[in-house]
Amino acid sequence: MGAVWREITGFWSTIILRTTALHTHFLVTSNTMPDKSSLNATNHHSASCCLFSSGGGHSNIQFSWETRSRICIGVARGLAFLHEEVRPRIVHRDIKASNVLLDSHLTPKISDFGLAKLLPPNTTHVSTRVAGTIGYLAPEYAIHGQLTRRADTYSFGVLLLEIVTGRCNTNTRLPCEDQFLLERTWGLYERGEVLSIVDASLGDDFDAEEACRFIKIALVCTQDAPRLRPSMPAVVRMLRGESNVNMEITKPGLITDLMDLKVRRQRDAGEPDASPVVFTTLHGSPSSSSGNATAIMSSSTAAELA
């Protein structure tokens, strides 16, 4: 069955690449890898810049609030297309700031489908090797290797916060309480002070009501339980103000919490030299302030964290 599905995937990869090439919010080419059940498509020539540079964690373009809002909605629309309108459905698996390219009109283009997975028909998830970028990985995927569309929803929630705040999700050069953007945002949300995290470079030139809504949507998207996260079409409607963010928002899933749990379990079991799990990085490093280290690990290794 696996070999048959790989052949089907190869066929669908070509069809989907041609389909997504016509969508406003994708940058793709026909450069596929026939030996992989994934899409591999990146085209940097049609874009003028990426959302954030990979080094400093900030774009050198000063985005207005209107531009940020348009970028958020555009990326969400692109993911909704992958998740709901393409058959088989696609999970991108590596939604992050550096994979959002901007054209000369600052229209967002989702790029780099090298880690994307097709979801076979009539399946709720696929079990796969964990791959993606540290800081954007949904905890249930990072821990158990179970991939669903809600993993992309989680990544989008982190990206949404980055766009609103103008900073990357992890910056170890900041004070401890500010290093992890999602944790910092949750703390401010509990105190009713979320607007204080909006990018200071905007001054007062932003829509406070919309910014507050976007932050709440980001927290809804990053909730610990995948079933509580909305679908991407629902996210698009909330971003546009067509539906309310009226659900109860629970604590986001934080990979740092899960690593700490593993350490405590090791210590309780009397294991010596208990230490947090370190991901194998392909680009960057776990301590990088840019938060762009890419993690690859097998499902069995990931399961040890659970």
Which has the closest alpha carbon to 295: 121, 115, 163? 115
Q: Is cis: bond before 88, omega within 30 of 0?
A: yes
Q: Is 47 helix (H, G, I), strand (E, B) or coil?
A: coil
Find residue 273's DSSP bridge partners. Answer: none
Q: Could you tell me where the beta strands, DSSP code E, fall in the chain?
A: 49-50, 89-91, 100-102, 108-110, 117-119, 126-127, 130-133, 146-147, 294-297
Question: DSSP string spanning 256-295?
Answer: HHHHHHHHHHHHHTT-TT-------BSSS-TT-TT--PEE
Number of H helices, E strands in the chain: 9, 9
Active site residues: 94
Q: Rounded distance, CA 19 to CA 14, Å?
A: 9
What sign for the dihedral angle of Cα 145, 150, 154, 159? positive
Q: Rounded distance, CA 261 to CA 259, Å?
A: 5
